[in-house]
């Protein structure tokens, strides 16, 4: 009896078809020329083989907003095996969601098969944890079900390059126009299925200047703790997207406002409450945002080094107070902070190494005598460490004169360099002598 009842409820949901609104080119104005040639070739090949193929997700949203898409994703009714067979240079990837990477030249396009809906059978075939988080979802379905499985209405738009039409199942075009971010379906259930959607909501709202619709916004604070169950590698990926979005300052401010920052960068809270720490983090974010928006490369390691610097400083102070000497204490502090972060936010090893190098070079930048500055200039991380020092100067942590000294020293000719070294030694003779004692100075720096 109960089974029958549920069967009816679920099948009711399953067959309640949502008709897409087809938006013509003359209304939305997104021409196929704005699609990358790799993505165009991929949809064309699929369509020539009688499969449905659309550009979907972030690219359509960005094109409608007049922004340059970062990448192009394709949704199709072809299975991953079908896609794999059609493209010589392709491979099936993913466990949670199986999809295919199609390569043309240096370009890679992600092709995913339409996901199944939330009918009883589809739900039963998905693997979830005890909080409702979906661990695996390789149930395939039709285009309408695929649209419904997406997170926000503005991300559920399908663009057909052949006809230049947009298929809009959930009112995403209107929401974009109204600058509104709205979850598809029941927000509580959808956030439970995947708590990362809360971070995505903040990122989209902050970086596109959208308002999170009331129903979508309401449960966020109460569900924030669910982020603790998300694997650190996924949190890291999402944090990286957020920090490199070009709107990191807005995103971090909004994360705090929504109470979502606790699980991400432990103690970010504490840092942002210390005037010097907050100033430093905000300067670092602004710096990154300016670079991203100017199309310049940014280093994630530099960014994480900045976000965590005041934690390192705090730990360093505590360790020194316990009697450990300066540089070894710094190294202990660096390890401690990196370990805590590694647990919460899987900062990949390559970033971790660069991050520590940037930190470790900071005391060496304060030593401006003898051959040391010359050696430092040769260091592969000098530029990053110097940029980092400039941030410290700008935030008020280090005398601006130190940054200015390095700015002059690195571009100066030999005579000017000698002068710079002499004048520095003359102004601080006692300190320099003390640092040259055995066990201190350059040797200890390299421990
Ligand atoms: P970005 O510009 O950051 O790439 P995006 O929306 O394209 O934003 P992707 O992670 O590339 O984000 O995902 C592509 C599409 O897949 C999204 O637009 C959305 O339709 C769907 N999607 C991604 N993540 C989720 C999720 N957690 N839950 C539901 N749908 C998702
Ligand atoms: Mg994308």
153-176 per-position pLDDT tens digit: 999 999 999 999 999 999 999 999
Ligand 1, atom nearest to 70 Cα: 2
CATH number assigned to the domain with residue range 300-424, chosen from the 4 options 1.20.1070.10, 1.10.3090.10, 1.25.40.10, 3.30.70.20? 1.10.3090.10
292 half-sphere exposure, CB direction, 13 A CA radius: 22
Residues with a catalytic annotation lie at 71, 73, 151
Quickly state the pLDDT bin for 368 (edges 50, 70, 90): confident
Alpha carbon nearest to ligand 1 atom 1, residue: 58
Give Cβ neighbours of residue 237 (< 8 Å, ≥ 6 apart): none
Residue 165: what pLDDT? 97
The more confidently predicted of residues 137 and 73 is: 73
Report CA(57)–ligand 2 centroid distance (Å).
6
Average pLDDT over residues 22-44: 95
Pocket lining: 241 vs ligand 1, CB cutoff 6 Å: yes
Alpha carbon nearest to ligand 1 atom 28, residue: 151
Report CA(58)–ligand 1 centroid distance (Å).
6
Pocket lining: 110 vs ligand 1, CB cutoff 6 Å: no
Name the residue with tokens 């505590």.
318
- Pairwise CA distance, residues 407 & 404, whole Å: 5
Q: For the ranges 37-51, 87-101, 420-434, which has the lowest average pLDDT?
A: 420-434
For residue 76, pLDDT over 90 is answered with yes
For residue 416, pLDDT over 70 is answered with yes
81-105 per-position pLDDT tens digit: 999 999 999 999 987 778 999 999 8
54-71 per-position pLDDT tens digit: 999 999 999 999 998 989
| CATH superfamily, with its number, for domain 1-178 | Beta Polymerase, domain 2 (3.30.460.10)
Residue 14: what pLDDT? 44
Residue 289: what pLDDT? 94
Quickly state the pLDDT bin for 443 (edges 50, 70, 90): very low
Highest mean pLDDT among 168-177, 413-422, 428-437: 168-177
Asked, colleague to colleague, whether 1-178 and 300-424 share their fold, the answer is no
Residue 133: what pLDDT? 73
Query: What are the sequence ranges of the domains in the chain?
Result: 1-178, 300-424
Pocket lining: 148 vs ligand 1, CB cutoff 6 Å: no
263 half-sphere exposure, CB direction, 13 A CA radius: 23
Instruction: Using alpha carbons, list the distances in angstroms from residue 144 to 21, 43, 129, 152, 261.
Output: 11, 18, 26, 14, 34
Pocket lining: 150 vs ligand 1, CB cutoff 6 Å: yes
Alpha carbon nearest to ligand 1 atom 25, residue: 151
Residue 229: what pLDDT? 85
Pocket lining: 141 vs ligand 1, CB cutoff 6 Å: no
Alpha carbon nearest to ligand 1 atom 16, residue: 57
Largest CA distance in the chain: 93
For residue 1, pLDDT over 60 is answered with no
Report CA(410)–ligand 2 centroid distance (Å).
40
∠ CA(326), CA(432), CA(380), 5° rounding?
Answer: 65
Average pLDDT over residues 120-130: 69
Report CA(311)–ligand 1 centroid distance (Å).
32
Pocket lining: 189 vs ligand 1, CB cutoff 6 Å: no
- Pairwise CA distance, residues 290 & 311, whole Å: 24
328-350 per-position pLDDT tens digit: 999 999 998 888 777 766 777 77
Give Cβ neighbours of residue 253 (< 8 Å, ≥ 6 apart): 206
Residue 270: what pLDDT? 56
Highest mean pLDDT among 236-240, 266-270, 380-384: 380-384
Alpha carbon nearest to ligand 1 atom 6, residue: 58
Residue 12: what pLDDT? 38
Report CA(66)–ligand 1 centroid distance (Å).
18
Pocket lining: 217 vs ligand 1, CB cutoff 6 Å: no
Q: Of the residues 64, 94, 150, 175, which should be mutated to test ligand 1's pocket, given the most ligand atoms within 8 Å of the CB? A: 150
Average pLDDT, the chain: 84
For residue 3, pLDDT over 80 is answered with no
Residue 116: what pLDDT? 83
Quickly state the pLDDT bin for 72 (edges 50, 70, 90): very high
Average pLDDT over residues 200-224: 95
Q: What is the pTM of this model?
A: 0.81
- Pairwise CA distance, residues 195 & 234, whole Å: 11
Pocket lining: 143 vs ligand 1, CB cutoff 6 Å: no
């Amino acid at each position: 009896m109960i089974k029958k009842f549920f069967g009816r409820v679920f099948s009711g949901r399953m067959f309640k078809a949502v008709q897409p609104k087809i938006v013509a080119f003359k209304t939305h104005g997104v021409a196929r020329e704005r699609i990358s040639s790799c993505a165009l070739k991929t949809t064309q090949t699929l369509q020539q083989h009688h499969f449905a193929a659309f550009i979907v997700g972030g690219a359509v949203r960005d094109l409608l907003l007049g922004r340059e898409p970062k990448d192009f994703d394709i949704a199709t009714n072809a299975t991953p095996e079908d896609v794999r067979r059609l493209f010589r240079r392709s491979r099936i990837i993913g466990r949670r969601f199986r999809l295919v990477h199609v390569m043309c030249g240096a370009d890679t396009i992600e092709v995913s098969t339409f996901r199944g809906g939330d009918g009883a059978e589809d739900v039963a075939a998905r693997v979830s944890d005890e909080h409702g988080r979906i661990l695996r979802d390789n149930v395939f379905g039709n285009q309408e079900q695929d649209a419904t499985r997406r997170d926000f209405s503005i991300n559920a738009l399908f663009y057909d390059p052949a006809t230049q039409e947009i298929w809009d199942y959930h009112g995403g075009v209107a929401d974009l126009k109204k600058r509104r971010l709205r979850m598809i379906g029941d927000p509580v259930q959808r956030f439970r299925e995947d708590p990362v959607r809360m971070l995505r909501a903040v990122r989209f709202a902050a970086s596109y200047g959208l308002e999170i619709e009331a129903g979508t916004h309401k449960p966020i604070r109460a569900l924030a703790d669910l982020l603790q169950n998300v694997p650190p590698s996924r949190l890291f990926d999402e944090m990286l997207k957020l920090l490199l979005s070009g709107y990191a300052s807005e995103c971090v401010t909004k994360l705090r406002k929504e109470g979502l920052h606790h699980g991400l960068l432990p103690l970010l809270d504490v840092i942002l409450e210390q005037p010097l720490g907050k100033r430093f983090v905000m300067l670092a974010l602004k710096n990154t945002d300016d670079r991203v928006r100017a199309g310049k490369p940014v280093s994630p390691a530099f960014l994480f080094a900045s976000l965590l610097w005041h934690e390192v400083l705090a730990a360093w102070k505590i360790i020194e107070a316990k009697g450990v000497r300066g540089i070894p204490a710094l190294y202990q502090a660096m390890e401690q902070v990196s370990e805590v972060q590694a647990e919460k936010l899987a900062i990949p090893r390559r970033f971790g190494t660069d991050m520590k190098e940037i930190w470790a070079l900071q005391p060496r930048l304060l030593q401006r005598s003898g051959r040391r500055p010359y050696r430092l200039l040769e260091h592969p991380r000098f530029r990053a460490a110097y940029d980092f020092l400039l941030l410290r100067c700008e935030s008020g942590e280090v005398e601006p004169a130190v940054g200015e000294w390095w700015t002059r020293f690195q571009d100066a000719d030999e005579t000017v360099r000698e002068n710079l070294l002499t004048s520095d030694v003359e102004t601080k003779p006692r300190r320099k002598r003390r640092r040259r004692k055995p066990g201190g100075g350059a040797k200890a720096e390299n421990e």
